[in-house]
Amino acid sequence: MSAADERLAVLVSSCDAYSDAWHPFFTLLFRYWSDCPYPIYLITESKRYDDQRVQTIAVNDASWGVRLAKALDTVPQLYVLYVQEDYFLKERVDTARVRELFEILVSDRVGSVRLYPDPAPQVPYREYRGVGEVVRGTPYRMSTQATMWDKEVLRKVMKKDPWATEHEGSKVSDTLPEPFLSVYRKSRWGSVSPVFEYVCTGISKRLWTWEAVHLFRREHVDVDLTKRSIEKYSTYLRRSLRRLPFIGEAFRHLYRVEYKLKTMLRPRQV
């Protein structure tokens, strides 16, 4: 194990309805990040994960935003690495690189450093290697992918749910003075992280994605697949088309248009 660093906490956002994801999540987390030097917290409503390496923060509220806000109040660290329970690691985490990026977050007083490049940065950031800035006005500049945050900046951009946070929070981020950084993609195609690579995401619309199922089988991770169904294979194929070289960009554009239309037509919650 690496020497403990008490300035940063790993904060796993979840709820009781997704407790079936905890076993595969933590199995792969400890397999691929065995030298994690940071304390690990799990946000739930009432259930607990029985592992002494994980501290549970139980917040009896159905709102993602309320649970996250309470968790930020609870953890003593000034910085958090935000992840979600269906971000299943599939490669070894580069702990030394995480430390380097964390030092940039602290020393340069930036708002966040994204470890999963979705979206990827557009311009270099100072003289630092492998990390760039996600410029203001970028869609999903505020992302709920794996990201190290200054807690106070995260409080300013977070809304009551992840979707509002990514859309409305991105607009708020444009008004803040702190830069938002991200690692660059490991390869040209797809959002592949050179430091923190995982299935993105393992549960979609309350269904297991095929990427997660394939990973569980490869890694011999036992998962109770009776608690939730697996998505249609055609959904998986459609998503795979968006990752293809050249023609994938056309499919990604069509998906963004479709998603934006669905968002506009979704009834507003008061």
Q: Report domain extents, the chain.
A: 8-231, 232-270
Long-range contacts of range 167-172, CB-CB < 8 Å, 24 or more positions apart? Answer: 167/263, 169/142, 170/138, 170/139, 170/140, 170/141, 170/142, 172/142
Rounded CA-CA distance 38/96 in Å is 13
Mean pLDDT calculated for residue range 199-207: 94
For 236-258, what is the mean pLDDT?
65
pLDDT at 241: 73
pLDDT, residue 88, reads: 98
Q: What is the mean pLDDT of the chain?
A: 91
pTM of the full structure:
0.88
- Report, as an integer, the average pLDDT of 93-108: 97
Helix (H, G, I), strand (E, B) or coil at 41: strand
Question: What is the rounded distance in angstroms from the CA atom of residue 167 to the CA atom of residue 171?
Answer: 7
Q: What is the pLDDT of residue 270?
A: 41
SS3 16: helix
Name the least confident of 104-108, 145-149, 182-186, 263-267: 263-267
Question: Per-residue pLDDT averaged across 105-121, rounded?
Answer: 96
- Say whether pLDDT at 143 is over 70: yes
How many residues are present in the chain? 270
- Residue 85 tokens read as 């329970």
Nearest to 18 by CA among 80, 62, 74: 62
CB of 187 closer than 8 Å to CB of 177: no
What are the residues whose beta carbons fall under 8 Å from the beta carbon of 84, sequence distance 6 or more? 12, 13, 14, 144, 201
Round to whole Å and give the CA distance between 141 and 84: 18
CA angle 157, 159, 162 (to 5 degrees): 100
Q: Is the pLDDT of residue 268 over 60?
A: no
Pairwise CA distance, residues 45 & 85, whole Å: 14
Report the CATH fold assignment for 8-231: Spore Coat Polysaccharide Biosynthesis Protein SpsA; Chain A (3.90.550)
How far from each other are the two terminal CA atoms of the chain, in whole angstroms?
47
- DSSP E strands in the chain: the ranges are 8-13, 40-44, 54-58, 79-84, 88-89, 112-114, 123-124, 131-133, 147-150, 180-183, 198-199, 203-204, 207-208
For residues 27 and 90, give the distance between their C-alpha atoms in angstroms, rounded to a whole number.
11
Contacts of 262 (CB under 8 A, 6+ apart): none
For the segment 40-64, what is each residue's pLDDT rounded down to a tens digit? 999 999 999 999 999 999 999 999 9
Q: Tell me the pLDDT band of 237, cut-offs 50, 70 and 90.
A: confident
Q: Averaged over 243-265, what is the pLDDT?
A: 61
Confidence (pLDDT) at 224: 86
Closest listed residue to residue 57, CA positions, set 29, 77, 37: 77
Q: How big is the chain by its Cα radius of gyration, in Å?
A: 18
Residues 26-43 have a mean pLDDT of 98
Q: Residues 66-89: what's their mean pLDDT?
A: 98
Residue 17, strand partner residues: none
